[in-house]
Chain A
Amino acid sequence: MINEPNSTFASGPSIKIDGETIFFSEGETIYEVAKRLQKNIPTLCYDERLEAFGGCRLCVVSVEGIRNPVASCTTKATDGMVVQTAPPEIEKMRRTLLELVSSENRDTQPNPLSGFASQELSALVNKYGARNGRFQGAKSGTSNFKDANPFILRDYEQCISCYRCVRVCAEQEGDYAISVANRGFKTQITTEFDHDLRDSDCTFCGQCVQTCPTGALADKKALRSAELPEEIKKTRTVCPYCAVGCSIDLMTKGNKIVGAQPAMKGPANKGALCIKGQFTFDFIQHEDRLKKPLIKQADGTFKEVEWDEALKAAAKGFARAKAKYGRHSVYGIASGRAPHEAAYTMQKFIRAGFGTHHIDNCSRA
C-alpha cells in the first residue's frame, strides 16, 4: 500500500513537503512520500520495481538543516523533516543536468514504439526547456548495430548510463546477462566479453527495452512500423501464450498490430514478459496463418473445409487408429497455451475417450 498514491496514514511520524504535513511509515523514502502527495519529482534512473540507485541526481530535494540537497529516491524520510521539492535553485540544476545528458547523445526524441519508458528523457527535456546545443563535446557510448538478434536494438549512442537495463536484468529477471564496462564517460553497457546478446545469458525477455528511458535499447520489431502514419493505440489484454496470464498492451496502428508492451501494473507480471509475450505476435496477422481447417487429400494436397467436416474426419481417423492398433496407440499433448479448463477437458478426452493414460502437457517438456 506504500506505493499507492493518495493512501495516507492517520498517525505516526510525519514530514513536511512543500509546506504540507504528511504522515509516513518507517522505511519510506522522501520520493515515495512525495509521490503520494502527487509531487512530480523528475527522475531518469528510477524504476519503482528496482532498488533505488541514486545515479541521475534529478530527484534531489532540499532538506532543512542539510547543506547539500539529497537524492530523494535513496533518502529515507525521518520524523520532522522539512523538504522542498522544487526550489528555483534546484530546478535550475535539474535543467543543467538535462542539458548535460542531452549533450552526450545524438538526439533526445526517440520513436515512441522504442519501448514503454522511451519518452522519459524527451518529456523532461521538453518540460524543463533544456536547451539543445549547450555543453557540447564528445558523445558517449558506442552503438552495437551489428548485434544480429531480431528483437533488441542496441543504440548506445542514445544511452545515458542510468543502468536501469542492467539492474532490471539482475533484480527482476535474475539473468545478469548485461553489465557495466569501463568507467566514467567511457562507461558502456556490455555483455560478457562484449559478445552479442544471443551468445550471452540473455533470454530476450525485453525488460531492459521497456525500462530504457531514452530508446537506446529499443524494440526492433515494433520499430519496423515506425513509418506507418497512424497514431499508436494501446489495448490492454492478456498474453495468449501460457496460463500465467501476463497483462500486455497490444500496440496497433490502424488495423495492424505493431508491438506488445508489458502492463507495468499487471497483477501477474508487474511489467515483466517473456520472449514470446514480448516479441512473437507476428503470427496473428501473418499471411500464412490458417484461418480454416484443412484436410490432407490422397494426393498430398490440402483441401479447405468447414469445422464440422474437419471434426468428423478427425474422429474417424482416431477411431480407425484405435481399432487397428489398440487404445494405447493414442497420445495426447495439451498445449501450454490452454487454460486449466481446456487442459482438464483434454485429459478427460484421452483417458475417458480412448482409455489410455498417454496424456501430457507441452509445458513439461
Chain B
Amino acid sequence: MVIAENDLDLINRWKDEPAPLLPVLHAFHDRDGYLSDEALRTISKSLQIPLADLYGTVTFYHHLSRNPGGLKAPRVCTGNICCLHGAHDILQDLKDQGSEATEMPCSGRCDTYVPVLQGHQTLSGTTAQSLQAHPSPLPPDYPGSYQEALFAQIREPGRNSLKNYPFESLEKVLASTPTQIIETITASKLAGRGGAGFPTGLKWKAVADCDRHPKSIVCNADEGEPGCFKDRTLMDYDPFALIEGMIIAGYATGANRGFIYLRYEYPETNALLEKCLAECYQENLLGKDVLGSGFEFQLYLRRGAGAYICGEEGSLLNSLEGKHPFPRNKPPFPVTHGFEDKPTAVNNVETLCAVPKIIQNGPDWYQSLGLGEHAGTKLISLSGDILRPGNYEIPIGLPLKTLLYDWAGGPLEGRSIQAVTMAGLSGGFLGHQILDTLTLDDPCIRSHGSFLGAGGIMVFDDTRDMVKAAHDAMSFFAHESCGKCFPCRIGTQRLTERLGGEIKNLSPENWVTEVNEIGETMKTTSACGLGMAAPHITESLQKYFPEQVAKATQNAFQAP
C-alpha cells in the first residue's frame, strides 16, 4: 500500500528552495491527480501567496487541472502538423471510448505524431488504437558535407549517462578566469539560439559586470514554439552538455545558481534531467564546491505547467517566481533585473549546449562553421509534408532547398511544396515563389519580412488549404495570448474569427481592411513578441496566397 505523502511533507520538500511554487503545485497535482481547493488553501498559506492570486495563476496554466482525475485525462496534440495527421479523429475516438480527453497545443513532437500525453507518459500514434510509447527520435544521420557541432556526438550510444560524458570543457574553464571565458564566447559570435539572436558573450558580460547578488543562470527549456523540438532532442540525448554549459555560464558571470525551466509536455525529459542532476551533485559537478574549485553552483529543475508565453523571458521569470506569468515591461532587462530582480542570464538550451563545444574547439572553429560571413550552426526542426522530418544541424547560411530536397528528401511522391513556415509559426509562411532563392540566415529571411527564430520549419505541400493552415496557426496564438495587452488579447481573437470565416456579413474588401489594420496595430503596439509576431501569419498568407484568400472570402466565408 502506498501511503500518500501528507501536505506538510510536500511543502517542506520545496519551501526552502528558490522558486518553490511550481514544484509544490506539481507535487500536490501528482499526489491528488488534480489541484483541490484544499490544496490551494494549504499552498497559499504555506508559501504566503494570496489565495485569489494563486487561484488566478493556477487557471492560467493549461495543464494544471482543477477537476478530480484531470491529471490522468489524455491530452491530444492538435498542433498544426498533428492536425494534418488525424489528431481530431484520435481525440474524438478517445472521447467515444469514454475518456475525458482534451486538446493540447503543439507539444513539441512533430517528429512522432500524434502525441497524446497521459499522466506523465507520452504515447503517440496516428489512430486511437495504435497509441504507444516511442523513444524520442535521434537526429537523422548527418546528410551534409559540412560539420556538425551540437549533434557531432549526440548519436553516440549512452551519451546521456554520466560515465560517457567527460566534462572536459568544465575542467578547462575552471582553470581559466571568468573574463577569459566571456572573451572566448564573444569571439565565437555565438548568439541566442532561442530566436532573439542576442550575442551571448555580450549578455554574459552584462551580468558579470553587475555587482548585485545572487545572480542566476536560467535555461529557457520551455520549447513552446509550434514545430520546434530540437531542445528536447538535445536534452534527451546530450543532457550533460546542457548542464556543463550552465555551470560554465555561472562561472563566467559569477552566478551561483541556475534554473532549467522545462516545458510541461516533456515528462520523460523531466525524469531524465532529474536523474542527471542528482548524479552531478553526487559527483561534485554541482554543489558547494564544483570539482574542488571553490566555485559554488546549485542547479534546480523547474517544470512549467503549460503556457507558451512562459517561453518569453519576462513571463518565464514571473512564472519561476510564482507570480502571474505576464511578460515584464522592458527595460530593465533580465541581465540587470531578472530572477528576483537580480542579474540573470536567460539562455536557450541550444545556446548553452554550444558552449562546451566552443570551449573545447575554440571560438574560431565555431565561427568558421557558418557559411560565408555567417557564424556557427543552427538546429532546425523540420516537420510536415516532407519525406524525412526531424532535427538537422545546418551551417548558418545554408540554402533552404538544400535542406528541403537534398537533406530531407523533398516532398512526398507526386506532390510539391507549397509553403514553409519560419520560426515555428512566429515567422509566418514563405511561399513556393521564393523558396529556391532563400538561405537560412537572418539577413536573408528578414529581407522577406520573416525570421529564423527558434528554427522550426513546417512544410505544407500543394494539397493543403493555406487559409485553414493560417486559421490553425492563429487559433494557437489566440489560445496562448496571455491577456496582458489589448492588441494581442483582442487581435488574436479577431484574426482567428476572420480566418475561420466566422464573421458572416463581412465583405471581402472589409475582410482585408480589418485583418490588415488589426495586424498592423498588433505588430506595432503589442507588449511582447507573441502579439508582434502573430500577424506574420495573415500578412504572409495574403502575400503568397492571394488567390486562396480571395476564394475563401468571396465564397466560403459568405455562405450562411
Q: Which residues of A contact B (CB under 8 A)?
A: 44, 52-58, 60, 68-69, 71, 74, 76, 93, 96-97, 100-101, 103-104, 134-138, 140, 160-161, 170, 176-187, 190-194, 200-201
Contact = CB atoms under 8 A, between A and B. Distances in A.
Contacts of A183: 60, 307, 309, 480-483
Contacts of A194: 55
Interface string B474-500: 000011111111110111111001000
11 contacts: A56-B486, A57-B525, A68-B525, A97-B525, A100-B494, A179-B56, A184-B481, A185-B483, A192-B40, A192-B52, A192-B54
A54 B329 contact: yes
B268 interface: no
B527 A71 contact: yes
The listed residue with most A CB atoms (<10 A of its CB), out of B478, B486, B494, is B486
B97 interface: no
Dominant secondary structure of chain B at its interface with chain A? helix
A182 B518 contact: no
A96 B518 contact: yes
Contacts of B331: 76
Contacts of B491: 100
A76 B329 CA distance: 11
Nearest to B324: A180
Nearest to B325: A183
A83 to B, nearest CB: 16
Contacts of A104: 490
A176 B53 contact: yes
A251 B153 CA distance: 76
Contacts of A177: 52
A177 B50 CA distance: 8
B484 A101 contact: no
A93 B493 contact: no
A160 B487 CA distance: 11
Instruction: Give the 8 A-B residue pairs with the shortest CB-CB distance, closest first.
Output: A176-B50, A179-B56, A184-B481, A187-B483, A185-B493, A74-B329, A179-B52, A57-B525
B554 interface: no
| Residue in B309, B480, B483, B527 with the greatest tally of chain A CB atoms within 10 Å | B483
B92 interface: no
A187 B484 CA distance: 9
Contact of A185 (B37, B60, B484, B490): B490
B490 A101 contact: yes
B489 A190 contact: no
A68 B307 CA distance: 26
Interface string B40-73: 1000000000111111110110000000000000
Contacts of B487: 57, 97, 100
B161 interface: no
Contact of B478 (A97, A184, A193): A184
B300 to A, nearest CB: 25
A291 B514 CA distance: 63
A52 B329 contact: yes
Contacts of B514: 134-135
Contact of A181 (B59, B309, B517, B524): B59
Contact of A191 (B40, B52, B484, B523): B52
B11 to A, nearest CB: 19
B512 to A, nearest CB: 14
B53 A179 contact: yes
A181 B560 CA distance: 35
A109 B487 CA distance: 21
B502 interface: yes
B503 A93 contact: no
B55 A96 contact: no
B493 A137 contact: yes
B299 to A, nearest CB: 29
Nearest to A187: B483
Contacts of A76: 331
B486 A101 contact: yes
B497 A137 contact: yes
B147 interface: no
Interface residues of B, number: 47
B51 A192 contact: yes
A140 B502 CA distance: 16
A192 B490 contact: no
Contacts of A190: 52, 55-56, 59
B177 to A, nearest CB: 34
B324 to A, nearest CB: 6
B525 A161 contact: no
Contact of A160 (B51, B55, B479, B486): B486
Contacts of B480: 183-184
Given A184-B493, A193-B37, A137 B52 contact: no
Given A137-B497, A178-B52, A185-B478, 11 more contacts: A54-B329, A57-B526, A93-B525, A100-B491, A140-B493, A176-B52, A180-B483, A182-B59, A185-B481, A186-B483, A200-B52
Nearest to B56: A179
A194 B40 CA distance: 13
Contacts of B521: 93, 96-97, 100
A259 B442 CA distance: 60
Interface centre among B51, B59, B517, B525 (most CB of A within 10 A): B525
B37, B485, B520: most-surrounded residue (chain A CB, <10 A): B485
Interface in B239-293: none
B484 A55 contact: yes
A185 B480 CA distance: 10
Nearest to A179: B56
B486 A181 contact: no
Contact of B527 (A54, A97, A176, A179): A54
Nearest to A44: B486
A190 B524 CA distance: 30
Contacts of B517: 96
Contacts of A161: 483, 486, 489
Interface string B514-538: 1001101101111100001000000
A138 B497 contact: yes
Most buried by A among B51, B490, B503, B518: B490
A330 B307 CA distance: 66
A183 B327 CA distance: 13
A4 B503 CA distance: 47
A100 B485 contact: no
Contacts of B478: 184-185
Nearest to A54: B329
Given A97-B486, A100-B490, A137-B497, A181 B525 contact: no
Contacts of B485: 54-57
Contacts of A186: 483
Contacts of A97: 486-487, 521, 525
A76 B60 CA distance: 30
Contacts of B523: 68
A192 B483 contact: no
A100 B55 contact: no
Interface string B311-337: 000000000000010000101000000
A160 B503 CA distance: 21
A187 B486 contact: no
B249 to A, nearest CB: 29
A271 B329 CA distance: 26
B527 A55 contact: yes
A271 B525 CA distance: 30
A177 B485 CA distance: 22
A22 to B, nearest CB: 21
B55 A181 contact: yes
Nearest to B491: A100
A179 B494 CA distance: 25
